[in-house]
Amino acid sequence: MYTAKPKILIYSHDSFGLGHLRRCRAIAHSLVDSNPDASVLILSGSPIIGSFEFKPRVDFVRVPGVTKLRNGAYSSLSLPIDIDHTMAIRASIIEHTAEVFDPDIFIVDKEPLGLRGEVRETLEKLKRQGIHLVLGLRDVMDDPEVLREEWQRKRALPALEELYDDVWVFGLKEIFDPLEGTGVSPAVYDKTLFTGYLRSQPPKTARVPDALPFGEDPYLLVTPGGGGDGVELVDWVIRAYEARTRPLFPALIMLGPFMDANHQTQFMERAEQVRDVKVKRFTAQMEPLVEAAKGVVGMGGYNTFCEILSFNRPALLVPRVVPRQEQMIRALKAEEAGLLSVLPIDNYPDTDLMIAALSRLPRQNAPLETGIPNLLDGLDRINARVGEILRARASAAAPNSAAAY
């Protein structure tokens, strides 16, 4: 039942990395900022969700974590139980949380039926109750043929047709359409909103002067996101500084919380021997570092890309190509649009190429110089759409309330 104080539930399976969690957090914060009566609850499997600060009226429920093995299978992250038992616990928590929280809107991030179908029953129950269901998708999911096969295998296409009221794509169709080639019907496109990218802002509590690594001197920020698959990027950059044949700006390398501990130790030891290179493990407040950087070197994950756009920083992307083509597609489409430059990982570990790319980076055009319209309108469009949904629910509830009175 709709109430005057709307409640929004967001699901993010977040088995690995930071992307889903940071995206959901950004949306939640924007929603409570735009609606002083709203509350947002995030369901997440991220093991580090507690490291992040949340605004008032935003909270989270953590379900037991899982991890993806190299063979593509999942296993329990911490609990000594099999994956089927873990998934049953997760599904039960999700369903019970939705029942008790009683949301007006349920937003599912990326996976139409959740990890291994864990939100299917919750979606079906909320659909019967008339709750507004939204699927949120990245600007790029994967190669369209691969995504089509995946959605067919997971039986996700009927969910897009029958369960969801809205599909939000957090990007611009002019840059890339993740639904093209997946087999979705015109009816799905009719309820699809391309929002634009999600603008990043520094947290009000961020202490920028304390965070800057080289004082007032300019620097390059190197970030592999969560870091679990960023070993080659970090190694390549350090090799370039070890063998530098021309002047380079100092580099701050953020390793990410999911990088293997042995690699973290090795990189920190190597950096101690190299002039103008500093390595840090992790910070939950990347925004001030991006804002202060002269340029950004990343892999092409969604949130890093949004930060590059938001703070208008020249960028060099070295995207991964496995297990998904997502980063490569995003990077190449962004390069095609004039937003940044790309150095394919196939060239690793050619130090001359990396040195040349790092040298050019500070002189590149900043991405907003392209003048692409509506590029960073994502949160504004989401807020506006949520307002429309809530007003429609309030209008539908009003006759019933009047009759009851």
**Window from 1-15, 183-197, 263-277, 383-397 with minimum mean pLDDT:** 1-15
Q: Which of 327, 304, 299, 316 is nearest to 354 (CA)?
A: 316
Residues of the chain with CATH 3.40.50.2000: 7-198+376-404, 208-370
Say yes or no to pLDDT of 403 above 50: no
What is the mean predicted confidence (pLDDT) over 344-358?
97
What is the mean predicted confidence (pLDDT) over 279-298?
93
CA distance 278 to 272: 7
pLDDT band at 129 (very low <50, low <70, confident <90, very high): very high
Say yes or no to pLDDT of 77 above 90: no
Q: Are 299 and 321 in contact (CB under 8 A)?
A: no
Say yes or no to pLDDT of 188 above 90: yes
Q: Are 303 and 171 in contact (CB under 8 A)?
A: no
Is pLDDT larger for residue 21 or for residue 208? 21
Peptide bond preceding 349 in cis form (omega within 30 of 0): yes
In degrees, rounded to 5, the angle at the alpha carbon of residue 271 between the alpha carbons of residues 267 and 272 is: 120
Q: How many CB atoms lie within 10 A of CB 240?
A: 26
| Structure tokens belonging to residue 347 | 């060239």
Say yes or no to pLDDT of 404 above 60: no
Mean pLDDT of the chain: 92
- pLDDT at residue 301 in the model: 93
The backbone torsions φ and ψ at residue 167, rounded to the nearest 5 degrees and listed phi first, read -125, 120
Is pLDDT larger for residue 261 or for residue 216? 261
The backbone torsions φ and ψ at residue 10, rounded to the nearest 5 degrees and listed phi first, read -120, 130
Q: Mind listing the pLDDT tens digit for each residue in 233-245?
A: 999 999 999 999 8
Q: Which amino acid is at 182?
A: T
3-state secondary structure the chain: CCCCCCEEEEEECCCCCCHHHHHHHHHHHHHHHHCCCCEEEEEECCCCHHHCCCCCCEEEEECCCEEECCCCCEEECCCCCCHHHHHHHHHHHHHHHHHHHCCCEEEEECCCCCHHHCCHHHHHHHHHCCCEEEEEEECCCCCHHHHHHHHHHCCCHHHHHHCCCEEEEECCCCCCCCCCCCCCCHHHHHCEEECCCCCCCCCCCCCHHHHCCCCCCCCEEEECCCCCCCHHHHHHHHHHHHCCCCCCCCEEEECCCCCCHHHHHHHHHHHCCCCCEEEECCCCCCHHHHHHCCEEEECCCHHHHHHHHHCCCCEEECCCCCCCCHHHHHHHHHHHCCCCEECCHHHCCCHHHHHHHHHHHHHCCCHHHHCCCCCCCHHHHHHHHHHHHHHHHHHHHHHHHHHHC
- pLDDT at residue 204 in the model: 63
- pLDDT at residue 2 in the model: 54
Angle (deg, nearest 10), helices 261-271 and 231-242:
10
pLDDT band at 73 (very low <50, low <70, confident <90, very high): confident
CB under 8 Å to 339, separation ≥6 — which residues? 308, 309, 315, 367, 370, 372
CA distance 382 to 305: 19
Q: Mind listing the pLDDT tens digit for each residue in 319-336?
A: 998 888 999 999 999 999
pLDDT band at 210 (very low <50, low <70, confident <90, very high): low
* Residue 205: alpha-carbon gap to chain centroid: 22
- pLDDT at residue 325 in the model: 92
Strands 7-12 and 39-44: parallel
pLDDT band at 361 (very low <50, low <70, confident <90, very high): very high
**Residue 295: strand pairing partners:** 220
Tell me which of 3.40.190.80, 3.10.20.90, 3.40.640.10, 3.40.50.2000 is the CATH number of domain 7-198+376-404.
Answer: 3.40.50.2000
Say yes or no to pLDDT of 399 above 70: no
Say yes or no to pLDDT of 285 above 90: no
**Window from 2-6, 126-130, 210-214 with minimum mean pLDDT:** 210-214
CATH classification (class only), 208-370: alpha beta
Peptide bond preceding 323 in cis form (omega within 30 of 0): yes
Q: Mind listing the pLDDT tens digit for each residue in 292-307?
A: 999 999 999 999 999 9
- pLDDT at residue 3 in the model: 62
Indicate the pTM of the whole model. 0.92
- pLDDT at residue 13 in the model: 83
Angle (deg, nearest 10), helices 326-336 and 302-310:
30
- pLDDT at residue 209 in the model: 46
